[in-house]
Chains A and B, each alone.
Chain A
Amino acid sequence: MTNNSPMNKSRRSFLQILPLGVLAGVFASIGGAAFRFLRPRIGVASDRWLDVASLTELTGPHPVSRKIVAEHIAGWAVTTEEHSVFVLPAKNNQVLSAVCPHEGCEVAWEQNANRFSCPCHESYFAADGARISGPAARGLDAMPARVQDGKLQVQYVSKESA
């Protein structure tokens, strides 16, 4: 058989592809595992009711700022985080999340201007949470709330699952 026979040629090109095949095999087997390895776990939304305040504290015409402490399971850690909320005694104790619906900064209540303002991109909201102006597309989000044993409680729902 001469060196240029078709048989020899195809053998040679197979041997040339072989290293690429082995590399592809290593990448594919580790890559397949990598996809499962890196895929985030879907967290179960917490349906716990968190105390905000007792009803007796919630009076007056202005929004009342409160903090709630929520637990999040994040992979290997259970984090306890604080979140700001505003209670509207004038609106049947509706609870608004302080998270701006624009990019997620925390809004603050401006007593003098009688409005909420977002420190990041100048969105403004009325005392009932309705959007006044700025880049936010909607008003502040209301949170699921209930009254239990004279205490106002809310469920914390994260932005993605909302």
Chain B
Amino acid sequence: MTPEARAWLQTTTGIVLVLLLVQFLTGVLLAFYYVPSVDHAYTTVSYIEKVVSSGSWIRSLHHYGSQWLTVFAFLHVIQLFLFQTYAYARVHWIAAVLLLGLIMAAGGTGYSLPWDARAFFSTRVAEGLMSGLPFVGRNSRFWLLGGSNISTLTLSRFFALHVLLIPACIVAVVVWRFSGFRAYWSNMWRHAIAGGLVFVALAVWSLKNPAPLGPAVAEMTAEYLPRPGLQFLWLYQTLKYIPGGLGSLAGLVLPGVVLLVLLLLPWLKRQRMFGTAVLGAIVVWVGFMTSAAYLSDRRHEQTWRQLSRQAAQEELLRREPFKPTAIRLAAAPVAGQDVGEPPVMYTKFCVNCHGQRGEGAQQGPLRFPPLLDVSAKPRRTVDDIVGLLKDPAAYGLEPPMRSFSDKLTEPQMREIGEWIVKLKK
């Protein structure tokens, strides 16, 4: 190999750095709008897609950037192996392998965040893989989900891992890799050209191809066929061939062992043979499985039709105008939840402390409780309210709440109670 060709092959470093920079910049931008909660995640992502200027491009850069980054991080490992870096520059080698693992983890956690149908299934698969782990399966699933089910807590966990923990680890690895690094100006320009070209290609690709956003989880139909991103197609296809409980071995344990072997390569005997075997197997496996995933969808007519339908549906969703979410920060009932006028006796005796519509009131230093949603509390049925109006102390209430036995008849109390239990926030 000519020194010139060698120098160009080494530019995977520059490409990975440029793509990492793109991920960090676009990720920070997306965080300005994204909300990691199951009731707002999808809305905020579609707001970014449909309303925010350049939002679709920024998200597409982040989405496809993560796939390209995985590919180039892997090519970087292969390049370092071919140049036998593990033998003379251990830090470079270990950093590259760690980066590959971290980038895959970032991609895996990021897939859940838009909380569309695709995200939901990817979370399900992550759950399944975790729970199938030998010995620690139950606990690791529990810890990953933040409880016994996929919930809004799960989304928060994936978000925290994706935007805080994993990026921090990536920065640490990159800093470690380049500490004590003296700029080799002679080759920097090649890194710059390669990185710049890949960036331009990614920018153009993202301009033409918006990142996918499937239907919201709530609107998902039973026929929906989820497909993972490019970098996880091999895993998706592999899981088809592996019987139930062994999925975790193929999906988590095996990749883990492979990464470990690669990490330990500098200390192993017969490194070259080991590395060639492991990397060769990965290339063959990933290449074969990725094409098999594509071909099997293509060949199965019904599947292909459904996938085309989904693509068309996504296109329609993309054109639909954005629907904002309603958030209520007010305690007073709004139109559409009218509970009718308060009973006359309520207006006469209760309004001063509990407000015109049960919203509560402040009198000097005293703050009186609102009655909204009071029926959701224990011991607050209509009968209880009647009893409470007669003898507040029996319900644990303290002055200035007084007994109204001398002011109200029982039917009047009942009328007030029936109106109060209808009050909702």
State the A residues within 8 Å of B (CB): 15-16, 18-19, 21-23, 25-27, 29-30, 33-34, 36-39, 41, 67, 69, 73, 75-82, 108, 111
Q: List 12 A-B contacts (CB under 8 A).
A: A19-B188, A26-B21, A33-B54, A39-B53, A41-B51, A67-B332, A67-B359, A75-B324, A76-B40, A76-B324, A77-B325, A80-B326
- Interface contact A25-B196, CB-CB below 8 Å: yes
CB neighbours of B188 from chain A (8 A): 15-16, 18-19
CB neighbours of B324 from chain A (8 A): 73, 75-78
A81 to nearest B CB, angstroms?
A: 5
B235 within 8 A of A: no
Known: A15-B185, A22-B192. A79 touches B29 (CB 8 A): no
| Complex Cα spacing A15 to B191, Å | 11
Known: A29-B203, A36-B53. A19 touches B325 (CB 8 A): no
| Complex Cα spacing A19 to B14, Å | 10
A69 to nearest B CB, angstroms?
A: 5
Given contacts A77-B43, A77-B325, 18 further A-B contacts (CB under 8 A): A18-B193, A19-B191, A19-B192, A21-B192, A22-B18, A22-B192, A22-B193, A30-B58, A34-B25, A36-B54, A69-B334, A76-B47, A76-B51, A76-B322, A77-B326, A79-B328, A80-B329, A82-B329
CB neighbours of B322 from chain A (8 A): 76
- Interface contact B192-A37, CB-CB below 8 Å: no
- Interface contact B325-A76, CB-CB below 8 Å: yes
- Interface contact B330-A78, CB-CB below 8 Å: no
Known: A37-B29, A76-B51. A15 touches B329 (CB 8 A): no
B224 within 8 A of A: no
| Complex Cα spacing A22 to B25, Å | 15
CB neighbours of B85 from chain A (8 A): none
- Interface contact A108-B362, CB-CB below 8 Å: yes
A153 to nearest B CB, angstroms?
A: 14
A91 to nearest B CB, angstroms?
A: 22
A13 to nearest B CB, angstroms?
A: 10
- Interface contact B57-A80, CB-CB below 8 Å: no
A146 to nearest B CB, angstroms?
A: 20
CB neighbours of B55 from chain A (8 A): 37
B199 within 8 A of A: yes
B349 within 8 A of A: no
CB neighbours of B52 from chain A (8 A): 37
Known: A15-B185, A33-B58, A34-B29. A79 touches B192 (CB 8 A): no
Q: Nearest B residue to A34 by beta-carbon distance?
A: B29
B45 to nearest A CB, angstroms?
A: 9
Query: Per-residue CB proximity of B299-329 to A under 8 Å, as 1/0?
Result: 0000000000000000000000010111111
B44 within 8 A of A: yes
B227 to nearest A CB, angstroms?
A: 27
CB neighbours of A76 from chain B (8 A): 33, 40, 43-44, 47, 51, 322, 324-325
| Complex Cα spacing A38 to B189, Å | 33
B22 within 8 A of A: yes
- Interface contact B334-A80, CB-CB below 8 Å: yes
Q: Nearest A residue to B30 by beta-carbon distance?
A: A37
Known: A36-B54, A37-B54, A67-B332. A30 touches B326 (CB 8 A): no
B84 within 8 A of A: no
B18-77: which residues lie under 8 A (CB-CB) from chain A? Answer: 18, 21-22, 25-26, 29, 32-33, 40, 43-44, 47, 51-55, 57-58, 61
CB neighbours of A80 from chain B (8 A): 326-330, 334
CB neighbours of A108 from chain B (8 A): 362
| Complex Cα spacing A148 to B150, Å | 51
CB neighbours of A79 from chain B (8 A): 326-329
B324-367: which residues lie under 8 A (CB-CB) from chain A? Answer: 324-332, 334, 359, 362, 364
B214 within 8 A of A: no
- Interface contact B185-A78, CB-CB below 8 Å: no
B296 to nearest A CB, angstroms?
A: 37
| Complex Cα spacing A75 to B45, Å | 12
- Interface contact A37-B58, CB-CB below 8 Å: yes
| Complex Cα spacing A15 to B190, Å | 9
- Interface contact B192-A18, CB-CB below 8 Å: yes
| Complex Cα spacing A21 to B29, Å | 22
B107 within 8 A of A: no
User: Which of A22, A27, A82 is the most central at the interface, judged by chain B CB atoms within 10 Å of its CB?
Assistant: A22
Q: Nearest B residue to A67 by beta-carbon distance?
A: B332
CB neighbours of B18 from chain A (8 A): 22, 26
| Complex Cα spacing A25 to B51, Å | 26
| Complex Cα spacing A29 to B330, Å | 42
B329 to nearest A CB, angstroms?
A: 5
The 5 closest A-B pairs by CB, nearest first: A76-B47, A82-B330, A36-B53, A19-B192, A33-B54
B110 within 8 A of A: no
B195 within 8 A of A: yes
CB neighbours of B191 from chain A (8 A): 19
Q: Nearest A residue to B46 by beta-carbon distance?
A: A76
Cβ-neighbour of A75 out of B47, B189, B331 (below 8 A): B47
